[in-house]
Amino acid sequence: MKYFLWLLKAAIFFTLFAFALNNQHDATVYFFFGTYWRAPLVLVVLAAFAGGMVVGALGMLPGWWKHRRAATQAPQPTAAVAVNPVPEGPAAVSVQEPQIARQHGL
């Protein structure tokens, strides 16, 4: 499995590398008021991808903060241990682990 993941990562790298080599010609991005940016196409695509990631992360920040605030203000769960009497003698083959109440969420 380790070799398969390594091979998959190498295939993705070489695919992106070939994309970068095939898109070296200049592209022009026009902004407002007559300004423009001229760069290789691969840099324009990379900048658009990075900008999209930044905008997406910034859009998710309020939700992350809300969930973190709710998680810190939630009452902390207490460990509820179930007491099971263990029979003595040859009938006592297995001992059960104590059951702990778990709370789902962040």
Report if residue 39 sits inside a domain. yes
The whole-number pLDDT of residue 97 equals: 62
The whole-number pLDDT of residue 38 equals: 93
The whole-number pLDDT of residue 101 equals: 60
pTM above 0.85, yes or no: no
Q: Which of 34-38, 74-78, 92-96 shows the lowest mean pLDDT across its residues?
A: 92-96
Report if residue 35 sits inside a domain. yes
Residue 61 has pLDDT above 80, yes or no: yes
Confidence of residue 59 (pLDDT cuts 50, 70, 90): very high
CA nearest neighbour of 27 among 17, 35, 37: 37
Report if residue 101 sits inside a domain. no
Report if residue 61 sits inside a domain. yes
- Distance, in Å, from the CA atom of 70 to the CA atom of 104, rounded to the nearest integer, reads 13
Confidence of residue 71 (pLDDT cuts 50, 70, 90): confident
Mean pLDDT, the chain, rounded, equals: 81
Residue 105 has pLDDT above 80, yes or no: no
- Domain span at residue 67? 14-73
* Count of structural domains within the chain: 1
The whole-number pLDDT of residue 11 equals: 95
**Close Cβ partners of 45 (under 8 Å, ≥ 6 residues apart):** 23
Report if residue 91 sits inside a domain. no
